[in-house]
Every structure is written in C-alpha cells, then in structure tokens.
C-alpha cells in the first residue's frame, strides 16, 4: 500500500505536522459535493409496506407484523427465530491471500473465517476450539451484537472470561435482537490482525429494495505477525500494512526472487452483476490501522444502514468506512457497458491527519476487486479512476446518518458530561519526561488500560470468591442507575498528560460493546468547552463505532439498559493493545446474576486452566499488551 515516508514520519512523530495540517481544507464543502440528492423514496414503497413479508419489492417488511420500525432493542418485540449452530476451530497455518506466503491464525483453516449467518431473532450457538500451537489463548467477540442480558457471551478476554486455553473449547450462545452486517473477531490481544475473524450476516428488513446481496470484507493486511509489530507501536507508531484485501484477496506486487512470493495465489475478488438488478453490498471494515475510502467505478449507490442501524437512504458515489464500521449499500447494476463490462472496486487508505484529501491519485493503487457484468470475462478492467472525487478523509457526516427507528436523547446538564480524553504516557517509566522516554503507551481518562487475563473483571466482581477492588489499570466507570442516559466527551485536543506530551492528532475509531451509542457531536481540530457546541439530540446518529476526529472531540450518550461489563476502546488494534481502552460497569448488582450456576462453574474451570497454562507460557516474559 506504499504510504509515503512522510506519513510514517508523521506517525512516528519525527516530522513537524504543521506542513500537513495546513492542508486542512474545508471538508464540509467537499463532502456536500459528494453527497448526491437524497432519494425521494421513489424507488421504495417502504412507507406503505409495514405489514407484508420480506421480498425484493418489500424489503422494509419482515414477517407480516414486524418491520423496519419495530423496536429491536426490546427483546419482547423481536421475532422468536430458531437456533443456528456453528463450530469453529482456531489453528495456525500458512496462507497467501495476496500472493505472499505468511504464517497466520485461521478459523476452520481459512481466512476470512466462515460466516455466522441467520435471521433476525435467531439464537446463535458458536463452539470455539482453541487448537493453536503457539500457546495463545483465544476468545470470540461478536462485534456490535448488543448481548441483551448475556454480557458473559461478549467474548472479551480479561473482562467477561479468561481466554480459552490451548486445547480447550468454549460455547457462546446469544440471541440476535438486531439485524444487519457485522463481524466476529478474536478479542485476545492482537489476534484478529493475525486472521481470527469472519462476517456476521443477520437477515432482516432493509430501508431500500434490492434483488440480491453480497458481503464484502475490507481489510488492511500485514506480512508480519501483529504480536511482533506491537513493538513498532510502543516504540514509534502503528505499523503500516503491506497490503489490503477484499474478501481475503489481492495482488501484492512482490519480487519473484523472494521465496515467499507466490503470485499464482494472489488475485482480485470479483462479484457478478446482472444488468437492471439491484444488489445489497454489506461493507464490513475489518482493518487494523487505516480508515478507508470505497467506491465502484461507473456506479452510484444508496446507503441503507450504518453498523446495525437501518437509516433513511441517501445517495453517494463514495463512502469512508472506519475500522469496525459497516455500511449496507444498494447498488443498481446500471453502468454504461458499451465500452467495458468489468469495473474496478476501489479501496484506498485515508491519509492522516483527518480532513486532508486522500493521497494524490497516483500514490496508491486503489484497485481492489472487480464487478463483472459478463461472468465469463477474465480481464482486468481498464482503469477509470484512481482517486475518489476529492472525498476527504472523514467519517460520513452525522447529518447523513438518520436512524429509521427514531430515538431522541434528553438534553444533558453540562456538568454531567464526563471527559474520557486520550493521551500518551511515557513507557516503561511514566515519570520520565516524554522526550527522553524509550516508548509510549496510550491512556484513556489519564490511565493506561491493562487487564490480567487470569483475573478478569468478573473475578473482581466476585464470581470466584469475594468482590475485590479493581486495580487502577482496569479503569472501571460505574454506571449504577437503571435506565438513565449517560454522556461522555472524548476529547483529543491537547489535554495535559502525565508526561506533558499530547498525542499526534489522528482519527481514532471508538467502539463500544453492549450498546449503540448516540453521537451527539463530532468535531475535528477543535477544543471542546462547556456550552460551545450544539448537541444533536433529535434522532441523532446511533451506532457502535464512531470516529474521534484528530485533535477534536466526540460526544456520545447511551441509556443504562443493559447490565454488564462493557469495553469501550479504540478499534485501531495497536492503540487498544497499548492501553486506549476502558470499561463501563453497568448496573453491577445485576451482572453476575446473568450466569447460571453451571455457567459460573465453567467460568471458574476455564480460569483455573488458563492460570495453569499461563505459568509455562514463554510470552509471560515479553512486552504484554492491554489484554483485550
Ligand atoms: C509457505 O511457507 C511455509 C514455511 O516456509 C512452507 O512450509 C509452505 O510450504 C509455504 N507454502 C507454499 C504454498 O509454498
Ligand atoms: C501468541 O502467538 C504469537 C505468535 O503467533 C506470539 O508471538 C505471542 O507471544 C503469543 N502470545 C501469547 C500471549 O501467547
Ligand atoms: C477501513 O478502516 C480503516 C481504518 O479506519 C480505513 O483506513 C480504511 O480506509 C477503511 N476501509 C474502507 C474500504 O473504507
Ligand atoms: C451518478 O450520479 C450523478 C449525479 O447525480 C449522475 O450524473 C451520474 O450519471 C450517475 N451515474 C450513474 C452510473 O448512475
Ligand atoms: C523513573 O524515572 C524517574 C525520573 O527519571 C526516576 O527517578 C525513577 O527512579 C525511575 N523509576 C524506575 C523504576 O526506573
Ligand atoms: C493526570 O494524572 C496526573 C498524575 O497522575 C495528574 O497530575 C494530572 O492532573 C491528571 N490530568 C488530568 C487532566 O486529570
Ligand atoms: Cu486509536
């Protein structure tokens, strides 16, 4: 992906960022230019289709009485569904998805792992076998799934479980109150970057009609192990990916004299279009480092859902997707096929800092996959575009994300906004002035997150004996009042840190477990001060991942409706691993009640086994990451 050296230097903090910052143009104008007229719903009769069955012409309905307007956060209103079973074995293996042979960790021998697929309201049962031979534990998290009443199935190691020790298994079971597109991934250290992930597809209503669908997993890709690269983050900056993958495929331009170069294994993923049909594409960003820009040559599209939340449709021809985010888009197969029948699907890294245009058209090859109207074609399309219409590197504007199921947020008294600012600390000794420090770790709310896998949050809460006070590095934020709106500012604007150094202003995709939060405000390069910003309270954007723009702030709110220990972290995996994380302890007295006696015993046994396995694990001596 050839990001130029300036970017590396910038990330490493070695060059002045001013040169790049002055390029901060007026993003709103550029964004508006890209945002085509909103649909008048002329291509969907969804306002009139509340009581029918889901079909290509009636995607807003579901089963006759549930539809796009059903409150899916109320489990009693969700379809009953059936039980869907999956069995995943995690192993080590060699793969070459982009034509370069690398050692990774695989789900059922493949990357990406097989889909978890079913319908709205179904119960999903996933048995995970840890057959890794490198001593790694594992744990599966189901990204964006709210886990209403099943916090213990959240798969966060060090929080809701001890890791699954090598040679052992664990069964997850949860019910899908939401529907849409997402992904599952390991929540053991940096393991998802090394391959342990796959799509989650939950069929339900959609705010735009379509005929058929495809799932597109978009990812950056590294040729080294994430565990090795972690040192690059701590002693410098997040490593730059070598490659990018669309559904686990790409062509890396490697040197054929390199024995790891296997060009015959690389290639482009293709999807087939039939003229006149409409396709739902589930775009799922499973990246580790970069925000990406996505577009398809010769096509416009309509955005129908953001994360697990159906939205009022809007048209565009290019979209930015942060790590962990998803968009369901509907593309009409109506391209001009008189000169070509193959079209590039493009994906480009967004340049950091935010608000700047993408790398010049020539700097990075945007070609990532192919749409084919002639299914027999094997040709590469003639290139139409290698730049995304000046799309700036910024999350989709909040005003575009208007949930169909409307929820308003009560205005907060200014004093209740709690500041969870990110910052840097010197590492390994946080008393050393930053300039003299060897490395750094990330803080959230002035503390570096770190959990002991052998003593998860649940153990401190009293699942294996007495309730004990948390160590500071567990960063619990207690939310004990029931059904109450809580509000947080995540302020990245040069907050004083312990070591006196402010982090370089780049975008951080903030993800929360157990909730869709409302996004009340989002600003780039701007200081948050009380009362200085008008909050969006009337049906604001709701999702599980939103960007904290570089040097700016993000204000979120959610209702304490789901008891549990829920992580909130940066989804740039290397940041989360170096401490950019914290946890909410929501309605503590109700958390452990969710486990049956049998489940509590299983938890204890798995922890005992993990503690035993860990004693002889050589990784004990190395630089350990935050855990989650
Ligand atoms: C990939 O590399 C491993 C280790 O060197 C080797 O065993 C394996 O055969 C290679 N795979 C291919 C397809 O060449
Ligand atoms: C996990 O496996 C990687 C190699 O794939 C190794 O570098 C790392 O130390 C292991 N970590 C743990 C905690 O076992
Ligand atoms: C996925 O997210 C990363 C990180 O936020 C970003 O750089 C990348 O551009 C995104 N991919 C797409 C296709 O939007
Ligand atoms: C995409 O939208 C633009 C602006 O409305 C329009 O000019 C163009 O013809 C559209 N392209 C296609 C393939 O529909
Ligand atoms: C950490 O740094 C401070 C200030 O330089 C020093 O006084 C202290 O001894 C150091 N601590 C350790 C454990 O090295
Ligand atoms: C962060 O912590 C340090 C020392 O623990 C303290 O001096 C400083 O005031 C704190 N900063 C904020 C903004 O809370
Ligand atoms: Cu981050």
User: The tokens of 141 are what?
Assistant: 């998290």
Element (H, E) at 11: helix 5-12
Tell me if residue 19 falls in helix, strand or coil.
helix
With 0.75 as the threshold, say if the pTM is over it.
yes
Mutation pick for ligand 2 pocket among 104, 130, 135, 452 (CB with most ligand atoms within 8 Å): 135
Dmax over Cα atoms in the chain, in whole Å?
73
Nearest CA, atom 3, ligand 6: 498
> Is residue 238 in a domain?
yes
Vertex 176, ends 174 and 179: CA angle to 5°?
155
**117: which residues sit within 8 A by CB, 6+ positions away?**
84, 199, 200, 201, 202, 203
Average pLDDT over every residue of 318-323: 88
Tell me whether the omega of the peptide bond preceding residue 84 falls within 30 degrees of 0, making it cis: no
Closest ligand (CA of 332) = 4
Closest ligand (CA of 104) = 2
Nearest CA, atom 4, ligand 2: 134
> Is residue 337 within 8 Å of 373, Cβ to Cβ?
yes
Least reliable range by pLDDT among 23-32, 216-225, 253-262: 23-32
Residue 224 has pLDDT above 60, yes or no: yes
In the chain, what are the helix, strand and coil shares in percent, each to the nearest 5?
A: 15, 35, 50
Mutation pick for ligand 6 pocket among 433, 498, 502, 582 (CB with most ligand atoms within 8 Å): 498
Tally of domains in the chain:
1
Residue 12 has pLDDT above 60, yes or no: no
Indicate whether residue 337 lines ligand 4 (CB < 6 A). Answer: no
CA 295 to ligand 2 centroid distance, Å: 36
Report the 10 Å Cβ neighbour count for 266: 19
**289: which residues sit within 8 A by CB, 6+ positions away?**
220, 238, 239, 240, 241, 323, 572, 573, 574
Residue 175 has pLDDT above 70, yes or no: yes
> Is residue 377 in a domain?
yes
Closest ligand (CA of 498) = 6
Average pLDDT over every residue of 149-154: 98
Residue 60 has pLDDT above 90, yes or no: yes
Least reliable range by pLDDT among 148-157, 224-233, 556-565: 224-233
Residue linked to tokens 């039980």: 83
Q: What is the pLDDT of residues 268-280, one digit of tens each?
A: 999 999 999 999 9
Which CATH number does the domain housing residue 385 bear? 2.60.40.420
Residue 26 has pLDDT above 70, yes or no: no
User: The tokens of 21 are what?
Assistant: 């910052």
> Is residue 492 in a domain?
no
Q: Which residue has the higher pLDDT, 542 or 357?
A: 542
Determine the pLDDT at residue 276.
97
Mutation pick for ligand 3 pocket among 322, 345, 545 (CB with most ligand atoms within 8 Å): 322
Phi-psi category of 366—alpha, beta or left, where left has phi over 0 and alpha has psi -120 to 50? alpha
Q: Give the per-residue SS3 of 51-89.
A: CCEEECCEEEEEECCCECCCCCCCHHHCCCCCEEEEEEE
What is the DSSP-derived secondary structure letter of residue 213? E
Q: What is the pLDDT of residues 425-450, one digit of tens each?
A: 888 888 888 778 888 889 898 899 99
Nearest CA, atom 14, ligand 2: 136
Q: Which residue has the higher pLDDT, 414 or 121?
A: 121
What lines the ligand 1 site, CB under 6 Å? 94, 101, 262
Least reliable range by pLDDT among 271-285, 337-351, 546-560: 337-351
d(CA 286, CA 182): 9
Atom of ligand 1 nearest to the CA of 259: 14
Confidence label for 495 from pLDDT (cuts 50, 70 and 90)? low
Residue 46 has pLDDT above 90, yes or no: no
Domain of residue 291 covers 212-350+357-391
> Is residue 192 within 8 Å of 258, Cβ to Cβ?
no
Closest to 511 in 3D by CA, of 487, 541, 547: 547
Average pLDDT over every residue of 185-197: 94
Going across the sheet that includes 292-296, the strands are 269-272, 367-372, 342-349, 292-296, 319-321
> Is residue 329 in a domain?
yes
Residue 47 has pLDDT above 60, yes or no: no
Helix boundaries (H) for 216-255: 226-234
Least reliable range by pLDDT among 102-111, 565-574, 614-623: 614-623
Residue 184 has pLDDT above 70, yes or no: yes
> Is residue 308 in a domain?
yes
Tell me if residue 589 falls in helix, strand or coil.
helix
Vertex 69, ends 206 and 302: CA angle to 5°?
30
> Is residue 553 in a domain?
no
User: The tokens of 267 are what?
Assistant: 């290639």
Tell me if residue 131 falls in helix, strand or coil.
coil
Query: Judging by beta carbons within 10 Å of its beta carbon (0-12, 13-18, 19+), is residue 155 exposed, middle or buried?
Result: buried
> Is residue 438 in a domain?
no
> Is residue 220 within 8 Å of 287, Cβ to Cβ?
yes
Residue 344 has pLDDT above 80, yes or no: yes
> Is residue 304 in a domain?
yes
Query: Judging by beta carbons within 10 Å of its beta carbon (0-12, 13-18, 19+), is residue 258 exposed, middle or buried?
Result: exposed
């Amino acid at each position: 992906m050839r990001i130029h050296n300036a970017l590396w230097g910038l990330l490493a903090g070695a060059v002045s960022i001013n040169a790049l910052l002055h390029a901060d143009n007026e993003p709103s104008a550029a964004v508006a230019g890209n945002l085509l007229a909103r649909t008048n719903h002329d291509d969907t009769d969804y306002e009139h289709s509340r009581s029918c069955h889901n079909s290509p012409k009636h995607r807003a309905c579901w089963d006759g009485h549930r539809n796009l307007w059903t409150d899916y956060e109320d489990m009693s209103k969700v379809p009953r569904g059936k039980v869907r079973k999956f069995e995943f074995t995690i192993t080590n293996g060699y793969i070459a998805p982009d034509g370069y042979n690398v050692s990774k960790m695989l789900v059922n021998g493949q990357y990406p792992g097989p889909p978890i697929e079913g319908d709205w309201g179904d119960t999903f049962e996933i048995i995970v076998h840890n057959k890794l031979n490198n001593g790694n534990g594992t744990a599966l998290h189901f990204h964006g799934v709210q886990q209403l009443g099943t916090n213990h199935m959240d798969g966060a190691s060090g929080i809701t479980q001890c890791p699954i020790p090598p040679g052992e298994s664990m069964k997850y079971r949860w019910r899908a109150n939401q529907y849409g597109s997402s992904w599952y991934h390991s929540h053991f250290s940096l393991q998802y970057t090394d391959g342990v992930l796959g799509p989650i597809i939950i069929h339900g209503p959609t705010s735009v009609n379509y005929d058929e669908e495809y799932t597109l997993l978009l990812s950056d890709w590294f040729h080294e192990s994430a565990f090795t690269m972690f040192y690059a983050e701590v002693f410098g900056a997040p490593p730059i990916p070598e490659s990018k993958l669309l559904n686990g495929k790409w062509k890396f331009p490697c040197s054929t004299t390199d024995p790891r170069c296997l060009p015959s294994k690389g290639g482009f993923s293709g999807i087939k279009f039939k003229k006149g049909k409409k396709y739902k594409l589930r775009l799922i960003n499973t990246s580790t480092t970069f925000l990406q820009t996505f577009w398809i040559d010769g096509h416009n599209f309509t955005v129908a859902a953001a994360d697990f939340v159906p939205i009022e449709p809007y048209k565009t021809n290019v979209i930015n997707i942060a790590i962990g985010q998803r968009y369901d888009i509907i593309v009409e197969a109506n391209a001009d096929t008189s000169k070509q029948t193959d079209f590039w699907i493009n994906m480009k890294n967004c340049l950091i800092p935010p608000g700047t245009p993408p790398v010049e058209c020539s700097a990075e090859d945007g070609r990532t996959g192919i749409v084919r109207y002639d299914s027999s074609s094997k040709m590469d399309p003639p290139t139409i575009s290698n730049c995304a219409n000046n799309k700036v590197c910024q999350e989709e504007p909040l005003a575009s994300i208007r949930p169909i199921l409307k929820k308003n947020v009560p205005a907060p008294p200014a004093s209740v906004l709690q500041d969870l600012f990110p910052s840097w600390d010197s590492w390994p000794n946080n008393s050393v002035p930053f300039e003299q420090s060897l490395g750094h770790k990330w803080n959230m709310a002035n503390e570096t997150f770190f959990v002991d896998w052998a003593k998860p949050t649940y153990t401190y809460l009293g699942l294996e004996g007495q309730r004990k006070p948390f160590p500071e590095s567990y960063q619990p934020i207690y939310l004990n009042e029931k059904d109450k709106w809580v509000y947080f500012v995540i302020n990245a604007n040069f907050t004083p840190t312990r070591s006196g150094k402010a982090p370089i202003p780049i975008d951080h995709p903030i993800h929360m477990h157990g909730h869709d939060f409302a996004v009340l405000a989002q600003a780039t390069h701007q200081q948050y001060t009380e009362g200085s910003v008008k909050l969006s309270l009337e049906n604001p954007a709701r999702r599980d991942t939103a960007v904290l723009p570089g040097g700016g702030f993000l204000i979120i709110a959610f209702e304490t409706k789901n008891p549990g220990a829920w992580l909130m972290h940066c989804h740039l995996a290397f940041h989360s691993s170096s401490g950019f994380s914290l946890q909410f302890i929501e309605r503590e007295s109700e958390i452990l009640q969710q486990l049956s006696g049998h489940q509590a015993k299983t938890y204890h046994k798995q922890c005992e086994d993990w503690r035993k396995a860990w004693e002889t694990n050589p990784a004990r001596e190395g630089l350990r990451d935050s855990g989650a």
